[in-house]
A and B are shown apart, each in its own frame.
Chain A
């Protein structure tokens, strides 16, 4: 598989951007700067980035409660995102959505979603629009292993299959639905095995290997764009942190976490592979790392310096007359 150098560097930068963003959110949440609760995407970067590498702004994605990574991979501005997390007026959604509802229509980002399994029907709708208008757009529906057990997903897989919708269903299997292991909550070894029931291709890949994700996603996206219908792509990955910030993670096996951090971390693996070749130099990656840190620093400053929304904003963007 040949991947152009600029794509490789773009993917590396987006992965680092997600990791750096999430690590910084962890810090800012600890400082009490972020209201509510947050679900961090760290550890799963290869999935969002390897898939969104095949998409343009015109393509759509639906996301999950763990949506920061999807936003960054789809090109949503990190300054607006950080401001949204801080609840500021300059946030992506004017401070009215927060971590679980970041959306950016101009980037084809149809929203993080606080409801597990909330996204798949919406993805079918976006796919239906593209199909009826014959735009050639595809929609990627990200969902976690927890959502694999929701009826909405199964209904949507069937609907997308019978209507041949240009939708790619991406199972981000990070091993845990909140604290419940996938080997308990899921009836099959691989979530993608269920694709057979819906008469669509089912593919399971190592979700920590950006090359494997990129290759599988390329085939699924090409199939969708060609009007051949949906694919169920499962990416097996790992959640570096807890379900939410503050989760003590007593359900995790220490060796598993250690192994991931030292051997399976997708950024570590990608960096190692890149530097093993001659195409990319360490200096280039270091420059990216520094640029990303500067961007996230700037995003935090922007969020901190931004005003909170005026209370009158409560009454906009909805019909209210009572």
Chain B
């Protein structure tokens, strides 16, 4: 039988639908997750199903008690999701674009992330904050940010960045079932990408990287849509006789150190591709990890391919220049030989 193919967005939708069927305490809330609340001619049906349609159809199946449109009040509704999590629900809450964390950071940083610890373990906080991130959509500086390193820095939060539809479904189900707050990053440009996704529910454990391509000469660690650019670069490198191994960490906290270190031990070379800025990023973090625990494996310096330390520009020529591209990854890898 042919493999079933879904888009990245459809895979996320299916994960939420299956978890909401399985567990009545799972609810979904956010701006326009259904859309058209209180609009009579919709007869309870949705208008949008999320700004990108990721939650389409969920209100039809689960009703407006479990698929809650919120006012544009991120502090109130993300904090409410945290409060609901502490008192017995398992909310999935949308922070539409990750840049909006600027208006609600306290409820994540000082409440959600810290309650379990500050309360001596007496509280569980099973909330998933889904958010769109990334450049490439011509959405300019406030709607194109990456920012997963900010959340990865905070104890008490887990951070997940899937790159394929298959990973998106399995990781979202794991995140919903996790008892800690998880920030789940969905690249805005990956929503329509397609790939095989089994219909039955499955989990991918948080903290396990995936080797997206095996290789022997250079390790490329890439995150989110950079995984696809790294795979593209690896093809080109192969044509030049260099075998690249592409590793997708998939979750940034927890982070699978072992898989990265084992690969570097094998190849002796490391390129890290991170769509974020060059300072205090996942790139610097992974570089520090390998410098500390894998220094003796390295044949040369660790190369980082990142976006520049600028806001994301709007104009297509500028934004295309801003994003790390396969050629930069190829150049970085070849500089190690």
Closest A residue to B112 by beta carbon equals A122
Given A121-B78, A317-B116, 18 more contacts at CB 8 Å? A62-B83, A101-B119, A103-B123, A105-B119, A115-B106, A121-B76, A121-B82, A122-B107, A125-B84, A126-B84, A128-B83, A132-B65, A152-B75, A159-B80, A316-B121, A317-B120, A319-B155, A319-B158
Contact B122 A122 (CB under 8 A): no
On whether A159 and B117 interact (CB within 8 A), knowing A115-B106, A122-B82, A125-B85, the answer reads no
> In whole angstroms, what is the CA distance A113 to B110 when docked?
9
Interface of B, helix, strand, loop or mixed by DSSP: mixed
Contacts of B115 in A (CB 8 A): 103, 111
The bracket for how many chain B residues form the interface is 35 or more
Contact of B88 among A96, A133, A158 (CB under 8 A): A133
> In whole angstroms, what is the CA distance A104 to B115 when docked?
11
> In whole angstroms, what is the CA distance A155 to B72 when docked?
9
Contact B76 A111 (CB under 8 A): no
Query: Is A202 part of the contact surface with B, judged by Cβ < 8 Å?
Result: no
Contact of A321 among B27, B87, B120, B254 (CB under 8 A): B254
Give the B-binding residues of A (Cβ under 8 A).
60, 62, 91-97, 101, 103-105, 110-111, 113-115, 117-118, 120-130, 132-133, 151-152, 155-156, 158-159, 162-163, 316-322
Closest B residue to A80 by beta carbon equals B120
- Chain B 99-118 interface 0/1 with A at a Cβ cutoff of 8 Å (1 = within): 00000001100110001111
Closest B residue to A313 by beta carbon equals B120
Contact A319 B70 (CB under 8 A): no
Closest A residue to B254 by beta carbon equals A321
Contact A118 B76 (CB under 8 A): no
Query: Is B18 part of the contact surface with A, judged by Cβ < 8 Å?
Result: no
Closest A residue to B119 by beta carbon equals A103
Nearest Cβ on chain B to A141's Cβ, whole angstroms: 10
> In whole angstroms, what is the CA distance A93 to B115 when docked?
11
Contact of B110 among A92, A94, A118 (CB under 8 A): A118
Contact B118 A111 (CB under 8 A): yes
Contact B79 A129 (CB under 8 A): no
On whether A124 and B80 interact (CB within 8 A), knowing A129-B87, A319-B156, the answer reads yes
Closest A residue to B29 by beta carbon equals A128
Query: Is B66 part of the contact surface with A, judged by Cβ < 8 Å?
Result: yes
Query: Is B168 part of the contact surface with A, judged by Cβ < 8 Å?
Result: no
Contacts of B117 in A (CB 8 A): 96, 317-318
> In whole angstroms, what is the CA distance A152 to B84 when docked?
16
Nearest Cβ on chain B to A148's Cβ, whole angstroms: 15
Contact B120 A126 (CB under 8 A): no
Closest B residue to A113 by beta carbon equals B111
Contacts of B155 in A (CB 8 A): 318-320
Contacts of B81 in A (CB 8 A): 125
Contact of B76 among A94, A95, A96, A156 (CB under 8 A): A156
Nearest Cβ on chain A to B36's Cβ, whole angstroms: 15
Contact A115 B110 (CB under 8 A): yes
On whether A93 and B118 interact (CB within 8 A), knowing A115-B106, A155-B75, the answer reads yes
Contact of B254 among A132, A162, A319 (CB under 8 A): A319
Contact A130 B87 (CB under 8 A): yes
Query: Is B86 part of the contact surface with A, judged by Cβ < 8 Å?
Result: yes
